[in-house]
Structure 1
C-alpha cells in the first residue's frame, strides 16, 4: 500500500513554524503585488492588461487564502513543536517510555535525533512504512531508523536482517534500530562489522536525558 501524498498545508507544517510565517508573507506579496508588476513590466500588451487587473486586486482573495493557509500551517508546526518538547521533557525512565503509544514513541525518538543535529523525516507516522520509521540526514549521510516499542519481547535477528536488506535496497549509509528492551544474541552477532547500531532502552534513555539537560541550559 503506497503512502498518501501530503497536502500543501501538511508539507508546510513540517517546516519550522518561522518558515511558515515567512512563506505566507512572501506568497501574499508575490500574488498581491509581484505578479501584477511582472505582467505589467514584461508581459507585453496582453500581460499589461492582466497586470492592471492584478494591481486592481482581482486576485487579492487568493493572496489572502495563501497567507491564511501558510499561517495555519505555521500554527500547526508551532503546536507540534511544543508537544514534542513537553513529551521529551516528561520522560523520567524506561517506564515512561513504555507508557507511550507507538506514534508518540516514534515522535520522541525522532525529536531526540533532531536535537542531535539530524534532519529527520518521519515515515512510519504516515502509515505503511516498509520497516522504516525515520530517515535521518547528517553530514551527507543517510540513516534508516526502525523503532520497536516492545516492552518484553526481545528484538530478534529477523528484524535486523530485514533492516539490513532495506539498507542495501535504499543504498543508505547506516541503520539504527531503537528499542525499549534488548536484542537477542543472534541479532547482536549479525550486526558485527555492519553499519547497523542496536540502540537499547537504556541507551535511548541516556540520549533523552542528554537532550533534557541541553534544553535546560
Structure 2
C-alpha cells in the first residue's frame, strides 16, 4: 500500500501578515474608508521594498570597500602576504614560514605571550577538513598557543566540527571582510 503524502501547504508567515494588517488598519484610521486600507497596505509594501533595496546596497557597498574581489584574484602566496599585512596593522608581530615544508602554518602571529599559527587558504570553493588537520599539526611544531585557518571562502561542516573539537579558530569570508573593514 502506498502511503498518502501530506500536502505541504505554503502559508504566509505570521509577522509579515501582522504588519500588513497594521498597515491596513492605519490606512483605515487615517482616511476612514476602504480605500484607506488599500493605501495603507500599498504604502507598507513600498516601504518594505525600499528597505530591502537599501539593505542590499549597503551590503554591496561593504564588499566594494573591503577589496574582497581583489583577494579572490590573488595567488596563494599573495594572499599570505596580504594576511600578514592585515594582521600587522592590527598589532600582531608577523613571521612568514617557508613556502614549502611549512608543517601546515603559513604565518606565525605573536601578540604578547600568545603565539598563533595561521593557515591561509585562498580558495574558490569551500575549505575542507585537510586545512584544519594541517594547522592542528603545526601547533606543536611552532609551539603555538592558538591555531587559526583563514579563507576567502567558507568551510565545510566537517571542517567546522573538527575545528570545534580541536579549538581551531576559523575565519571565513564574512569574518575576513569584517576584519578588512575594521582596520585599526
TM-score relative to the length of structure 1: 0.51
Structure 1 moving runs of 4+ over 6 Å = none
Deviation at 1:127, TM superposition (A): 4.5
String of CA shifts for 1:174-196, please: whole Å, max 9, x gaps.
11111111111011111225331
Deviation at 1:133, TM superposition (A): 0.8
String of CA shifts for 1:128-181, please: whole Å, max 9, x gaps.
4232110011121111011101112x1111221221122134331011111111
- Partners of 2:142 and 2:165 in 1: CA distance: 19
SS for the counterpart of 2:155 is coil
- Partners of 1:103 and 1:91 in 2: CA distance: 23
Contact kept, 8 Å, 2:93 with 2:109, in 1: the verdict is yes
Task: Show the counterpart of 2:47.
Answer: none
Contact kept, 8 Å, 2:72 with 2:124, in 1: the verdict is yes
Deviation at 1:112, TM superposition (A): 1.0
- Higher helix content, 1 or 2: 1
Deviation at 1:198, TM superposition (A): 0.6
Task: Show the counterpart of 2:153.
Answer: 181
Q: 2:68 aligns with which of 94, 113, 119?
A: 94
Q: 1:150 aligns with which of 103, 123, 126?
A: 123
TM-score relative to the length of structure 2: 0.59
Q: 1:116 aligns with which of 90, 94, 103?
A: 90
Deviation at 1:94, TM superposition (A): 2.7
- Partners of 2:81 and 2:122 in 1: CA distance: 12
The answer to whether residue 134 in structure 2 is matched with residue 137 in structure 1 is no
Alpha carbon RMSD of aligned pairs, Å?
Answer: 2.0
Unaligned runs of 5+ in 2: 1-63
- Partners of 1:187 and 1:146 in 2: CA distance: 13
The answer to whether residue 175 in structure 2 is matched with residue 203 in structure 1 is yes
SS for the counterpart of 2:77 is helix
Deviation at 1:91, TM superposition (A): 6.3
The answer to whether residue 135 in structure 2 is matched with residue 163 in structure 1 is yes
Residue correspondences, number: 121
Task: Show the counterpart of 2:31.
Answer: none
SS for the counterpart of 1:105 is helix
Contact kept, 8 Å, 1:143 with 1:175, in 2: the verdict is yes
Higher-Rg member (1/2): 2
